[in-house]
Amino acid sequence: MIGSAIAGGFLGTLVMTTIMRGASELGLTRIDFALLLGTTVSDNRRKARAIGYVFHFILGLAFALAYAGFFAIVGRSGWLLGAGLGALQAVFNGTVLVNVLLPVVHPRIGTPDSAANEIALIEPPGFLMLNYGRRSFLVVLAAHIVYGAVIGWVVTV
């Protein structure tokens, strides 16, 4: 099961990343998870993006293991259940993880509390990441639903 979770996590993250990148290229959102995550350790954009993609895949695998654990607890899996978990995670990410928790540990991202004594390099994402475009949350929601569905489809209990 762990093996299938890792495989599902890798595949799901790959698809999710492609959706997010595609949405960005289509002008639907300015979310760039790789840049957001990578700039926690580097202010060089190119380096930050590369590091960010690694972080994103590690997180994708970690969450896939958590999804698999949930499937094991409830005793069933499937793409629909996975999609539901993905939707929940999108809401959590948009309201808490990226909006509240990430700025706490991110040295270069602004927060609503940043004042004149701080200099932000990355604008704060805002509630549901709407600062990055009005359709941002819809893109995040769709990407996470697909991510969850892929994991639910690959992992069998």
Which residues contact another protein (rule: CB under 8 A)?
24, 27, 29-30, 32, 44-46, 49, 110-124, 126, 130-134
Our CB check for another protein shows the closer of 48 and 155 to be 48
Contact 83, 155 (CB under 8 A): no
29: tokens are 């959102």
- Please state the closest distance from residue 40 (CB atom) to another protein, in A: 15
Our CB check for another protein shows the closer of 71 and 132 to be 132
Our CB check for another protein shows the closer of 104 and 115 to be 115
DSSP 42-77: -S-HHHHHHHHHHHHHHHHHHHHHHHHHHHHHHT--
Task: Let me know how long the chain is.
Answer: 157
- Please state the closest distance from residue 132 (CB atom) to another protein, in A: 7
- Please state the closest distance from residue 86 (CB atom) to another protein, in A: 25
Cα dihedral: 45, 108, 96, 76 (round 10): 40
- Please state the closest distance from residue 32 (CB atom) to another protein, in A: 8
